[in-house]
Every structure is written in structure tokens, then in C-alpha cells.
Amino acid sequence: MPEDTIKVNYSGAVNAALRRVLAEVPETLLYGEDLAKPGGVHGVTRGLWKEFGDRVFDTPISESAILGSAVGAAMMGRRPIVEIMWADFFLVAMDQMVNQAANVRYVSEGRLKAPLVVRTQQGDSPGSCAQHSQNLEALFLHVPGLRVAMPSNPQDAYDIIVSAVHCDDPVVVIDNRTLYFGEKQEIVTGRPPAPVGGSHVRRTGEAATVVTWGAITHRVLEAADRLAAGSTPVTVIETPWLNPFDTDAVIESVERTGGRLAVVHEANTTGGFGAEVIARVAEAGVLRGRPVRIGVPDSRIPAAPELAAALIPSGDRIAGELGRLVSAG
């Protein structure tokens, strides 16, 4: 596929990536609930059924059947891309991911693999309620054998889908629904698939290192810009790939920024992946002073937008906590 530049929003980038892999990789299948003819609950897969026929199809409402069939298809040489409508619905089919997909390569002594991609979305949006707003990435990151990615912008959304389909491990790609219909941006398409993993330095500064991923990255950047305007520039590292995680880049940055580290995520703080990031940096011996975890309190997410907004870290809260981290030395 020749390299090109297109202007799309986040959902358009995902759609373009899916169209590319369906065209380039004949082993791919794309299926899930309301994904084909309706075009997906958020319209992300619109038009792909008409273009690729029976390789794109709708399924019954059975997450266990969707994931179980994907594991079997992957073991037999296909590269299925399946959609779990909300990450919360993943929980009824965790056996298929934890006990089956993640174990295929190990229990077959490397004779088989499960190159499947599971697309899902999570996070708060107005009125999404407690059963449609959980941030569950830490559950998947606790399972050896699963790759996990959480992009925050159209370019990464496109690149990660392409890389995930070419990966021989099962990959969980987690979107945030609030990103789907954001501003259109120019992205580069047609580049060769990149290996999974890697991070981005989104801002540079010597005062501290801030690590983040997913939709809350945009609030972190807002806070970083505010601090920079006040002569307290921080380095912001976005890690769209959480497994494999770019530990080396984070350690190097923390060492360069005086041993000061903050991690920001939309998931609740207890047991969140931020604790693992801090532990890895602490084990490297480069922390100086108290690291900071910024996340949601250990609470269910309420349906009322005003109450939900009070729980999810805002740009003001992030800037305030980063300011205190820096001033504490």
C-alpha cells in the first residue's frame, strides 16, 4: 500500500486501518455485535461490510461465543478482529481471553498461536452509568500473553490496529468513546506495520516526568502547557502500548528530570497500572522523593455528568498535583 496522507477523526482512522488490513491480509475477519450492516454502535465500522462481504459479519449477543470463535479461528490460521461493544461486557467472556487465548502458544509448545485482535472501548461519557464506564486495562495487563494498547489520537489509532493485526499474539485494543468524533487530523497511512510497543514524548521539561495513556492524555497535556507557561515545564510520556511497556524510556526520563515521577490514568487508583509503572521506576533506583498517582477514587462512576466530572481527574487537578510534586523537590 503506498504511503498517503488523509484527514480524519479518530473513528475515521480506525475505519481506515480496518479497511487496509482487510484489503491487505486475506486471513482477516471482522465481526461482532451490530458491527456489519449497522456499522457498529458508534459507526466505526460503517461501510466495511459492503466492501468486504461475508468476511465482515454480525454476531448474536454472546461475548463468549465471539471470543471463543476468534481463538479457534486464530489457531487455524485466520487473523480475526472482533469487537466487544463495551469493555464492561468483556467480563462475561474472560475465560476465553485469560485461559484460552493467552495460553495457546504456551500449552502447544509453540506449535500454535492465536493472532487475534479484540477491539473494545471504555471510559466515562455522559450518562454511561456504572456498567458502561469502567476502565479495565489493569485486568488485561495482569495476564501474561496478552498485548494491550490504548491510543489517544487518530494516528496512533490507525497505526496500532495495523500493528496489532500483524502481531502473532492476542492483542486487546482499547478505545475511549469520547475520542471517536473529535477534531479531524492529518494522518499518514500506508507505512509498513511497526512492531508492537513504543512510546511518545509529547512535552519536554526538566521539572518532572509524567506518564499517561488513553483519552486522559489530552488533560495531561493541558496541565503541562499550563505549568510550562508558569516556568515549570514537565516531560509528558504517552505510552499507547501498555504491554509491551516502554520501561526504559520512562526510567531514562525520570532520571533526567530529577527523579520526580507522576502517573495519570482514568482508571481508579487502587490496583491501577500506574502502581506498576512506579514500582518499575523505584526498582531502577532513580526515584527521588514521593511519586504521585493521579486517578479516579475507588468509586463506581455515577450516571450524572456533574458527579462523574468530580471523580475523573481534571486539568486543574492534574496541574495542581504536578505543581505540588515539583515544589516538594
DSSP-derived pairing of the beta strands 209-212 and 261-268: parallel
183 burial class (0-12, 13-18, 19+ CB within 10 angstroms)? exposed
Q: What is the DSSP string of 17-35?
A: HHHHHHHH-TTEEEEETT-
| Residue 2 to residue 145: CA distance in whole angstroms | 33
Report helix angle 315-327 to 217-229, nearest 10: 50
| Residue 24 to residue 34: CA distance in whole angstroms | 24
Helix (H) or strand (E) holding 256: helix 247-256
Q: What is the DSSP string of 137-176?
A: HHHHHTSTT-EEE---SHHHHHHHHHHHHH-SS-EEEEEE
Task: Kindly name the residue from 42, 132, 142, 218 that is annotated as catalytic.
Answer: 132
Catalytic residue list contains 132: yes
SS3 235: strand
Buried b (16+ CB within 10 A) or exposed e, 124-150: bbeebeeebbbbbbbbbbebebbbbbb
Side-chain-side CA neighbours of residue 237 (13 Å): 27
Closest among 251, 257, 44, 65 to 151, alpha carbons compared: 44
Closest among 226, 237, 231, 254 to 321, alpha carbons compared: 226
Q: Which residues are catalytic?
A: 132
